[in-house]
Structure 1
Amino acid sequence: MPLLHAMLNVVYLAMQLFTGAIGVYQIVMSLFGIWHKREPIRHDPAKRFAVIIAAHNEERVIGPLIDSLTAQEYPKALFDIHVIADNCTDHTADVARRHGAVVHIRTDHEKRGKGFAIEWMLERLWSSNVQYDAIVMFDADNLVAPDFLRIMNDKLIEGNKVIQGYLGVKNPFDTWVSVSMAISYWYSNRMWQNARQNLHLSSSLGGTGLCIDMALLKEMGWGATGLTEDLEFGVRCVERGIIPIWAHDAVVYDEKPTTLLASMRQRLRWMQGHFHCAKHHMVPLLMAGIRERNFVKFDAGVYLFQPARFLILFLTSLMLLLQISTPHTSLMSHVASFLPTDFWVAVNVFLYLQMPLALFLERVNWKAYVGLILLPFFLWTWGPVVFQAYFTKTNRRWAHTVHKRAIRLDELRSR
């Protein structure tokens, strides 16, 4: 038993140090997300965009997305909408054509998934006679705010190469799962992404609402065909010294799963891709950050070190539970505590209070505050998702998320 107690001490102390460090790190970083002032649009339209939409059986939702794009406050001659009908067995291509998009039929049952579809589409664009200054990527279930391309035009003219737009949710109040996901995104947008933008650190790429300078893309190549193609590309940018920035006012609305099973399946795919990417890039980024005294690279490595920002909340909550239960458990009674219970109480309080603060700062509907009651239950589901993802991280098979809500942009504003 003494050997077992010694081993438990080492594991438990390591868990405390790791969890305490990332908890405090996130609290400090999030303070820089409080400030945001909407920037005026300074430049006239000049950049030409190729808008790319990778779609697999999305006939129900792709029409409203294309309509929101054709309604952009940007000259029609300066952007083209390209839809990849990727291994579709429904009427996605017909619906996209009817709404005014250029449709590209792709059939490849071996190389399945969004990353492969984008790579295929880029090759077609580069071999065409049309010259674009940048590409913008959207998922088929999205809706796009009217000033999105105007803002991206501004950012590109100012010299930025990779820009991530604001990730909103178009169906936040469908179920307790969708509102929990929405709260997670409102929090991430404000206290994670906006904070890092204010600190001039790298934005985390979200795979949709993403703008990339075409010259950079040709130089680097896409090369991101995993389950989280956005993360892969963003990490490669940081390694090259290119900082993806956050455009808080360029809004994209995304459909979120409404059932816990669908949500966990989607998050499992994210985490599998995250672990795969971390395996190849985490240590080099951390080492480069320390060696070069480059906080941008170090912070990107820290992000890869913890597989999900909401895992921080799960881990700190678990640590608090272990700390409280330790005196009552015979096996844990011999385990030493490096950090006191009061520390874990304070960390959890500060982390959870960031949620309502983010909602207040983002001026979201009052219904979201009701969702805070069930949010802890949702956050705890990250635990089994991450655990399963770690042991299945070699999986490279793309799992399609079914989208059903054909909401239009004008309906969204009226809510």
Structure 2
Amino acid sequence: MEVIATIVAVALAVPLVVLTAAFAIEVIAGLRTLRAPAATLGAEGPVVIVMPANDEAAVITRTLTLLAAELPDGFRVLVVADNCTDDTATLAEQAGAAVLRRDDPSQRGKGFALAFARDHLAAQPAPCAVAIVLDADCTIDRASLTALAAAARRTPAQASYLMRPERDAAPMVQVSNFAFAIKNLVRQRGLQRLAGRVNLTGTGMAFPWPVFRDAPLATDDIVEDLALGLDLAQRGTPPRFAAGATVWSAASSAEGTLRQRTRWEGGFIATSRRHALPAIAAGLRRGDLRAIWAGISLAVPPLTLLLLLDALGLIALGVLALIGAAAWPALLLGALLLLALAALVAAWARVGRPFLSGAAAVRLPLYILWKIPLYLGLARKRPTDWLRAGR
């Protein structure tokens, strides 16, 4: 009985140990900032900011007005009013942007909107040197635009995509925004150091024109950005982190945050299940340690799900130890969980204070409980719609 219990304990502990260790190492590797290029120059040619917009009348005017004040010379904006039922297109034109209208309800999603813009640009005598993708509810400053365009001269690049800090927001929203910063800033820096590439996050993405022209954009994948980054890496043009470039989005309500998390995490988990193990296997075949790490990183579940799985795993391992299993699997997982929590505390001290107050931080266990229905729902059905957070 003791031998069987130990075998079961090891089988249960191994995946959790690997994922928890990977998370902790990546966070620790991302605590230090990445050095920006010594000379930040713009792209060698015109830059087009492609802005897919689906029923964004409530925010499009403000977004374009703020963006116009930050545009460097040689930058222009192209809005794709995609399957809109409101006056997004008219408002965008009034704000001074070039606008493409797309009406194809059978093909909904950002990927189709980007492909539509790409095909329009390809028909022009001189399309652009760099295409930057910016969501209609995001803001970016001039320095970030310049840094992002410069980073994308030869290879795809990704800016930090963060939620604007709101210390008076609901505790659950603050915890979510902090987790967002861990994913899109700290872990991205760690992934760049360890794997030589990062994940695309949907906005603040930039592509050299030849890459944008040939990219498989027309897809209804709910996390088309993540899937696109994986495809580009396989093609030999992996996205890199654009140090010094940041894109901001307004924090949502608690209800809106849960809706958006349903989309992001559901899509991420589905993409991870499809691509993580093949990516690890491909890296092993080539003996490419960086590719192996990229695959392992992709397998790491979202922060709260990882903590929930670790807690449940420790409970199960404790029960197995009581019936005779070796104690070391539980001790090893517990030690790595403590390391991961210590890394999170260090990340909060380095970058997280603006996003998460101390009072809200103690609500993390409640945040995990708050998201259990989300994970139960995802177990039943993966989200497929192009969702936006409530505003």
TM over 0.5: yes
> Match for 2:323: what amino acid?
H
SS where residue 147 of structure 1 aligns?
Answer: helix
Match of 2:199 among 194, 197, 204: 204
Letter in 2 for 1:23: T
1:137 and 2:133 are equivalent in the alignment? yes
Q: What is the rounded CA distance, in whole Å, between the counterparts of 1:176 and 1:373 in structure 2?
A: 9
Match of 2:101, as an amino acid?
I
Of the three residues 45, 48, 71, the one matched with 1:50 is 48
Q: Is the 8 A contact 1:135 1:211 kept in 2?
A: yes
Match of 2:14 in 1: 17
| Residue aligned with 2:246, SS | strand
1:163–1:245 CA contact under 8 A, matched in 2: yes
Is it true that 1:249 corresponds to 2:244 in the alignment?
A: yes
Task: State the distance in 1 between where 2:328 and 2:378 align.
Answer: 29
Secondary structure of residue in 2 paired with 1:208: coil
In the alignment, residue 164 of structure 2 is paired with which amino acid?
K
Q: Secondary structure at the match of 1:139?
A: coil
Q: Which runs of 5+ in 2 are unaligned?
A: none
- Equivalent in the alignment of 2:332: 343
1-structure distance, mates of 2:373, 2:300: 15
Question: Which amino acid letter does the alignment assign opposite residue 211 of structure 1?
Answer: A
Following superposition, the deviation at residue 199 of structure 1 comes to 3.0
Whether 2:383 is the aligned partner of 1:388: answer no
Structure 1 residue 269: Cα displacement: 2.1
Q: Show the counterpart of 1:401.
A: 388
Give the alignment of 1:117-266 within 5 angstroms: 117-157=113-153, 159=154, 161-170=155-164, 172-173=166-167, 174-259=169-254, 261-266=255-260
Normalised to the residue count of structure 1, the TM-score between the two structures is 0.84
Indicate conservation of the 8 Å contact 1:16/1:338, yes or no.
no
Separation in structure 2 between the aligned mates of residue 366 and residue 304 of structure 1, nearest angstrom: 24
Per-residue displacement from partner, 1:324-376 (whole Å, max 9, x unpaired)? 5x38xxxx843625535443443233222323322322274385333211123
C-alpha displacement at 1:164, in angstroms? 0.7
Per the normalisation by structure 2, the TM-score is 0.88
CA contact (8 A) 1:85 1:93 kept: yes
Calculate percent identity across the aligned residue pairs: 21
What is the RMSD of the two structures over their aligned residues, measured on CA atoms? 2.8
Residue 95 (structure 1) aligned with residue 84 (structure 2): no
- Which amino acid is 2:298 matched to? L
Q: Write the distance in 2 (CA, Å) between the matches of 1:234 and 1:383.
A: 29
How far apart, CA to CA, are the structure 2 residues paired with 1:129 and 1:28?
Answer: 48
Read off the aligned partner of 2:81 and give its amino acid letter.
A
Residues 1:11 and 1:238: Cα distance change in structure 2 (over 3 Å): farther
State the distance in 1 between where 2:139 and 2:117 align: 21
1:4-83 equivalences in 2 (<5 Å): 12-36=9-33, 38-39=35-36, 40-44=38-42, 46-72=44-70, 74-75=72-73, 78-83=74-79
Distance in structure 1 (CA, Å) of the matches to 2:141 and 2:368: 29
Distance 2:96 2:4 in 1: 64
User: In the TM superposition, what is the alpha-carbon distance from 1:386 to its structure 2 partner?
Assistant: 3.7
Give the one of 74, 80, 85 matched to 1:84.
Answer: 80
Contact preservation (8 Å) 2:196, 2:290: yes
**Matching residue's letter, 1:304:** L
